[in-house]
Structure 1
Amino acid sequence: MNKEQLLNILQGVQNGDISPDNALEKIKLAPYEDIGFANIDTSRSLRHGVGEVIYGEGKSAEQIRAIAQKLIDNGEKTVLITRIDESKAEYVNRTITLEYDNESRTAVAGKIPEPNGKGKIVVCCAGTSDLYCAKEALITAKAFGNEVVEMYDVGVAGIHRLLDKAELLSNAKAVIAIAGMEGALASVVGGLASCPVIAVPTSVGYGASFGGVSALLAMLNSCASNVSVVNIDNGFGAAYIASMINHQE
């Protein structure tokens, strides 16, 4: 939406021709911005509460930089980029300052906002090998304005490590449970937490784990009724959902 279109809507509200609610709907559904190779959804933050996130894998460094710059030019104070490798991040960082995490391949342009959610999100993972996914969830949740509690290496092979932190789980607004192998962590966390648990299967494990499929199926069949599941290695998606839960009125 350009300046003239926005001014016309605001003028309509001032004149009484458009109600404030109708004006908000028009702004939410504002046209995207076409930059040739991408259509930038410049009004997504009005609809979802957070702006468009850039998925870096499969995009060139030049494309990532152009999309990020356009979002910044349209007023986004925090731009999240997922699955971006170090060389692309270095290229973008020449003109747009990035905070880059090599382990999760996640970058943030702009400022991480102060937490403005209703409570805390717990990000827990079964083992150190799952940290790449946990860090993606952590950075995403923080970029979306959440207070995050980190709980790493608490897998069921040493379940006392998890039980020792049961109080943190009981006080959470949402929990992200990340595990590979047989994916048992999600069910155990679901039995301890009184909030929604978003389970993330990872591709960590030996041959019969089938790149995370075993953990995925186990989590889908969890007997803990408060457990839902996202796709394999999708720490970003889990954090997005957890953030929406944490920001509900």
Structure 2
Amino acid sequence: MTTGIVIAAVIAILVGSTLQRLSGTGVGLVVAPVLALLIGPALGVFVTNSTTVVSGFLIMLAVIRDVNWKRYLIFMPMALLGAIPAAFMVREVDAAWLNIVIGSVVLISLALTFGTPRVPHVRTHALTGATGLVGGFLNTSAGVAAPAMVMYSKFSRWNQRSFAATMQPTFMTMGIFSVGTKLAVGATTIEQLPPWWLFPIIVVTVIAGIRIGAWLAKKVSMDAARRVAITLAGMGGAVAVIRGMAMLA
């Protein structure tokens, strides 16, 4: 892993963590496509999952009073069920197709999440469970669970403050499921992991991003932060699709 790749990865993680502190989401959308391009789709998503474990835990500590634990406990069993088939998919699918899958998931998710007009009010345990299932699958396969959760928040008319807080333990646990299932099925092996010193760098970078996000929260609107996240994620997703197609060609 070259110095340039490490620096680019750190910048992506810093930006993603900052946006996650501002709006509740951001790490997966920004980091997954960037790391997929830098270090390969399977390993890139694995490192993204590891990053969401750290960011979710640290941000949760600051917003834990607003977490809706009832919804979290419905999400999680279903998220594990979604993570298992996704881990097998990551193990079996070619790197070129994984790039296309990751990029397409990001682009389609952005279109659905931020381009969808007002949706009907639906609030059932079945929808909550289905969202956990889809989120777990997307998080493990592409590192991007946020769009499924945002769509759920639109249907359920979930208060933004409670939603953003609940997403932190949700993303943390989904990240643990993703890392664990991929190691268990051999989609990623210990030998393939980045050097050990990258993980302390990730922790420090996430902490820095959270601090910057907390500072910016007093100066930047949530809409502005969301626009930045959409732009960066869209660019990364498009490049990932193009790269995958080029690899196939």
TM-score range normalised by the length of the shorter chain: under 0.3
Q: Select the structure with the greater relative contact order (CA < 8 A; seq sep ≥ 6).
A: 2
Q: TM-score, normalization: structure 1?
A: 0.24
Structure that is richer in strand per residue? 1
Q: TM-score, normalization: structure 2?
A: 0.24
